[in-house]
């Protein structure tokens, strides 16, 4: 029996379509896009600033309306120069870059300042991008908005930012709900906590959305594949691995104990009997029982990417770490359809 996380892009052709249309901003490699497709939605296109990510998106998803430009440029395009279909969206999806809200590092010192989100891109004030996205909401007036971000947005001082986002939704005529979800409860072999703003236009008079997921946890041993690279026995990571302890089972991060550093995303020990930790683009994932990194296939499965995704030579962990797990978005999108769209005329 094939597991749900073991799927291919070719499988999408056999999924019944529900007649609803989605457009994605900050799409990266298309993790959310694949989730919507798995749930039966039609993806019209995307906005993505990164040339490499857009190349991946085009290769794997073949969008009708791709826009490789900053979100600020997209929202400035005159309405009559945009496809008419974008003004009749069921869902506007977006994952505004969120590193300034991550609980790793001195995040508050980054707020309000320009940063390179990635080398080769223009500097942007990352904490403004969510409001740029909301400007697109105002422009396109979709029926529903789904915006994903890191858990850090609901921690500490960032809660004030969340209040501003909710207020902006209200000003635009949308009723927004905020959900903190863990992908481990959604059929994803990964403990990935993310928040989702899910909003609908008030004129639709839809009921409150309920999202409660209780899928059976998927342990690492269920998705484990061939070995990744061996650890360098003269390197720091091998020394960390040698000093692993049973107490590392909870979060798997042993950098602080070994080197006295504060770290949330560094050397992560993966155990067979546990759900793997969040796939982050800047972490090292090492097996507990042998001095090897986990394999690229492991990363693809942990992120629930399709086995035939064409990475075009890009770093697998980076692409996956920057994406929403498709199975996570599939669960959400299905509930949005069942609770909301199934009650609305197309």
d(CA 149, CA 56): 22
Question: Could you give the 3-state DSSP secondary structure of residue 334?
Answer: helix
As annotated, the active-site residues are 98
Query: What six digits make up the tokens of 18?
Result: 């529900």
> What pLDDT, on the 0 to 100 scale, is given for residue 1?
52
> What pLDDT, on the 0 to 100 scale, is given for residue 121?
45
Contact partners, residue 223, CB within 8 Å, separation at least 6: 3, 5, 189, 298, 301, 302
pLDDT profile of the chain (346 residues), mean per 10: 88 97 97 98 97 98 98 98 98 81 44 43 62 97 96 74 92 97 97 96 97 96 96 89 62 40 64 95 90 97 98 97 96 98 93
> What pLDDT, on the 0 to 100 scale, is given for residue 273?
97
Residue extents of the structural domains in the chain: 9-217+320-343, 227-294
> What pLDDT, on the 0 to 100 scale, is given for residue 97?
79
Cβ(312)–Cβ(59) below 8 Å: yes
> What pLDDT, on the 0 to 100 scale, is given for residue 158?
66
Can you say how many angstroms the Cα of residue 232 is from the centroid of all Cα atoms in its chain?
Answer: 31
Dihedral in degrees, nearest 10, Cα atoms 71, 76, 82, 88: 70
Q: Determine the CATH number of domain 9-217+320-343.
A: 3.40.50.150
pTM (predicted TM-score): 0.88
> What pLDDT, on the 0 to 100 scale, is given for residue 103?
41
d(CA 184, CA 189): 6
> What pLDDT, on the 0 to 100 scale, is given for residue 340?
98
């Amino acid at each position: 029996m094939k597991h749900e996380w073991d799927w291919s892009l070719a499988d999408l052709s056999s999924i019944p379509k529900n007649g609803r249309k989605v457009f994605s901003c900050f799409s990266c490699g298309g993790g959310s896009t694949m989730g919507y497709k798995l749930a039966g939605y039609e993806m019209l296109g995307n906005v993505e600033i990164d040339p490499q990510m857009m190349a991946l998106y085009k290769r794997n998803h073949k969008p009708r309306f791709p826009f490789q430009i900053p979100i600020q440029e997209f929202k400035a395009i005159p309405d009559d120069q945009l496809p008419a279909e974008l003004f009749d969206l069921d869902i506007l999806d977006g994952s505004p870059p969120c590193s300034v809200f991550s609980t790793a590092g001195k995040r508050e010192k980054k707020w309000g300042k320009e940063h390179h989100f990635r080398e080769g891109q223009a500097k942007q004030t990352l904490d403004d991008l969510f409001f740029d996205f909301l400007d697109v909401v105002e422009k396109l007036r979709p029926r529903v908005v789904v915006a994903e971000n890191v858990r850090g947005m609901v921690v500490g001082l960032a809660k004030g930012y969340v209040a501003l986002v909710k207020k902006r939704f209200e000003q635009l005529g949308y009723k927004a709900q905020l959900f903190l979800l863990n992908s481990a409860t959604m059929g994803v072999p990964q403990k990935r906590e993310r928040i989702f703003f899910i909003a609908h236009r008030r004129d639709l008079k839809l009921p409150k959305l309920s999202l409660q997921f209780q899928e059976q946890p998927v342990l690492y041993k269920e998705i484990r594949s061939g070995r990744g690279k061996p650890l360098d026995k003269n390197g720091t990571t091998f020394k960390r691995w040698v000093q692993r302890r049973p107490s590392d089972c909870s979060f798997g991060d042993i950098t602080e104990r070994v080197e006295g550093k504060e770290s949330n995303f560094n050397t992560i020990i993966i155990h067979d009997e546990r759900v793997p930790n969040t796939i982050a683009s800047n972490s090292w994932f090492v097996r507990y029982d042998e001095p090897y990194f986990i394999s690229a296939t492991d990363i693809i499965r942990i992120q629930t990417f399709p086995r035939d995704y064409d990475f075009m030579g890009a770093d697998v962990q980076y692409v996956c770490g920057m994406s929403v797990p498709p199975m996570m978005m599939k669960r959400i999108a299905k509930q949005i359809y069942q609770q909301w769209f199934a009650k609305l005329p197309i």
